[in-house]
Amino acid sequence: MRRLLIVLGLTLCGSLPAVTFDADTRQLNRAVVGASYADMLSRITPAVVSIRTTATLPLDYVRRLRGITSSDIKDYDKKTGEVQLYIGQGSGAIVHPDGYIITNRHVVMLANNTMAKDAYVTLADRREFKAKVLGVDDNTDIALLKVEERNLPYAHFCDSDKVRVGDVVFAIGNPMGVGLSVSSGIISALGRSPGLNAVEDFIQTDAAINPGNSGGPLIDFEGRIIGMNSAIRTQGQGGGNIGIGYSIPSNLISLVAADLANGRKFLRGFVGLFGEDLKSEDAAKMNLRGGAVVVQDVTDKSPAMKCGLRPSDIIVGIDGKTFENWNELRLSVVKRKPGDVIQFTIIRQGLRSLLNVTVAERPAGT
């Protein structure tokens, strides 16, 4: 009897109509603004590369290292007994069809602060090239690589001075070694100076940036490079992304990269002054709407001293324009070439005047 009941139950279930689910198979209308960024990203991602640096080590030494797998080994020379080992990883962007690639300095530097002898770049189409490090700039954390290949896909820079808080951005790179990845967000702030480099004017974004993204591009809605993803703020040592990432602005990158590409060192402007932001209550008393910097010190025999700038002078304009703070004023000097003339608008004892300062080359060690 029990067997009969079971059989009847199965028979009843089998007689019910099959369950089906509706599917809307129409292709997504990507012409609708905001529906998809796939077309734009398909144009820019071929210009984004993964970068791995190597070091040549004795086989006996490599055998003593923990966690080394075959994927960590680039090459093994049976004659010398040396192993070429992958030791660093990052991202980069091709910015010229003849194989010029931008990345972070720290991507191509070893733990002992020497430059890696060999670097290898892998394109989105899986082509791999050995790259030469043309040069690095210590103060901006920018490096330029070159591969001997022509007609490569490349990305264009945009004018980073024109970007605004709230603009949509995309961070592209090879985070955690998982492969080419894209994250999105907005520009959260401009002109950040978290104290990572000697010269910094970071763009802050909430687009996810993680280890391995360093050197990869931050792009705008049209696929142009806004910045280079370089650092994140985390909670505790080894923490992941919490929505505060820093990117070097494209205008600074292009200045440094152009000098490195043409065999020149990046010359920084120098006028010989040190200042600090005027207190907000003092600025309010003077009815100042923009930034203002109080000159604290003027270097002896410097361009600033020669033009007549003095301690206690208040700088309120650069070339007839206002600025935000001391960091912006300092950067405007750093970006100038020796021989350029900067016009400062100053207030001295309540009176405004103009001073023309001829920029000099920044002395080593300053």
Separation between Cα atoms, residue 71 and residue 105, nearest integer Å: 24
* 96 is known as an active-site residue: no
Residue 154: helix, strand or coil by DSSP?
coil
Q: Are 222 and 40 in contact (CB under 8 A)?
A: yes
Biggest CA–CA distance in the chain, Å, is 112
At the top level of CATH, the class of 160-261 is mainly beta
Cβ partners under 8 Å of residue 276, min gap 6: 293, 294, 296, 326
Catalytic residue among 50, 160, 181, 214: 214
CA distances to 3, 5, 16, 77 from 8, in Å: 9, 5, 13, 73
* 106 is known as an active-site residue: yes
Catalytic residue among 50, 106, 206, 220: 106
With pLDDT > 90 as the criterion, what percentage of the chain qualifies? Answer: 54
Please tell me which of 66-70, 188-192, 262-266 the model is most confident about, judged by mean pLDDT. Answer: 188-192
pLDDT of 50 over the 60 cut: yes
Number of neighbours of residue 148 by Cβ within 10 angstroms? 10
Domain layout of the chain by residue ranges: 42-147, 160-261, 269-361
Nearest of 314, 313, 332 to residue 323 by alpha carbon: 332
Same fold, 42-147 and 160-261: yes
DSSP letters for 276-342: EEPPHHHHHHTT--S--EEEEEE-TTSHHHHTT--TT-EEEEETTB--SSHHHHHHHHHTSPTT-EE
Q: Which two tokens stand for residue 97?
A: 């069809």
Domain 42-147 has CATH 2.40.10.10: yes
At the top level of CATH, the class of 269-361 is mainly beta
The per-residue pLDDT for range 90-141, each reduced to its tens digit, is 999 999 999 999 999 999 988 778 888 789 999 999 999 999 999 998 889 9
pTM here? 0.80
* 156 is known as an active-site residue: no
pLDDT of residue 68: 77
Catalytic residue among 91, 118, 137, 141: 141
Residues present in the chain in total: 366
pLDDT of 192 over the 70 cut: yes
